Amino acid sequence: MQLKRLGRTGLKVTEICMGTMTFGNQAPEETAHAILDRVLEAGVNFIDTADIYPIPGAVKTAGRTEEVIGRWLKGKRQRVVLATKCGARVGPGPNDEGSSRQHILDAIDASLRRLQTDYVDLYQIHWPDTQTPLEETVLALHDLVRWGKVRYVGCSNFEGWRLCKALWISDRLALSRFESVQPQYNLLSRGIERELLPLCAEESVGVMTYSPLAGGLLSGKYSREQPPPEGTRFALDRPTGPLYRERYWHDRLFDAVERAQELAQSCGVTSVQLAIAWLLQQPLTSVILGATRLEHLEEALKGLDVKLDAATIEALDALAPP
């Protein structure tokens, strides 16, 4: 398990980060705790969550995942680099979402209570908020760093231009800056290669990517001729299920998955291990893995031992070019 610096900071995180979006829903608490125990045993020190989890958009369950993690975290806090996010709607009020100063200050206190800790290592803005000036957001996050409630700040789902603007604001006003960005990235979704990855390399911003298996499509368990099985991510209610079907449920991507399966077979590995190995050979800080069962995690971790040769990487790059 390799350690990498988070962006230009001195904070060291593992090349694998444990994602927790299913904890408290698809993965019940006992399973979630077993998964967290296993990743800690495997040498992973990086855990990512959000105040809206386990189901983005489902306000009635918002915060449940942080509570599950908080109960597990007792006695282990110093062994973990803990990241969470705010910005998604978590309540019925007009200020229960977004990245205004008011919501950020309310959200961090609520997350700290649920996580049963007095600080978060990495606090991220979950989505861009077009109704709030970036200056207001950056200033509020800077105060959280000054007060010791968070150690570093980052963003998620930001476009290259928006991240660049935020960095410029921080530089101009001498404020804490976004030290990381969390975008979607996998063999089937490679848009960040155009602008975001070059920007992060130039400005020394850490990149921690999510959805390594394209919602499970790259595992090969889905068929284009059959609807997604009940309980899977593609079958969930709005907004998650429809969003994933819009992103990935297309014939050209099923064609790419079939070709990836052939390549995996020729390498003597599974499709999951191939997809993880490809990501680990990209210029990233950390790859966020998700799991609903312990066996899913075990298979994904085996991707750490797979090294792809140049010919295989070239063939994979041709499956779904950016």
More confident position, 258 or 170: 170
Residue 61: C-alpha distances to residues 24, 55, 221, 287 (Å): 9, 7, 28, 26
**pLDDT per residue over 103-118, tens digit each?**
999 999 999 999 999 9
Active site residue 53: yes
Residues 6+ apart with CB under 8 A from 251: 224
Structure token pair of residue 71: 């109960």
139 vs 101: CA distance, rounded Å:
8
46 vs 121: CA distance, rounded Å:
10
**pLDDT per residue over 237-248, tens digit each?**
666 777 777 777
**pLDDT per residue over 87-99, tens digit each?**
999 999 999 999 9
User: Residue 181 pLDDT > 90, yes or no?
Assistant: yes
Instruction: List the catalytic residue out of 53, 185, 222, 244.
Output: 53
Percent above pLDDT 90 for the chain = 79
pLDDT at 242: 78
Domains of the chain as residue ranges with CATH: 3-216+279-308 (3.20.20.100)
Residue 85: C-alpha distances to residues 51, 58, 63, 159, 265 (Å): 6, 15, 11, 17, 38
Residues 6+ apart with CB under 8 A from 61: 24, 25, 54, 55
Q: Which of 83, 86, 109 is nearest to 96 (CA)?
A: 86
pLDDT at 228: 76
Task: Specify the DSSP element, H or E, that contains 85.
Answer: strand 81-86
Sorting pLDDT into bands at 50, 70 and 90, what band is 231? low
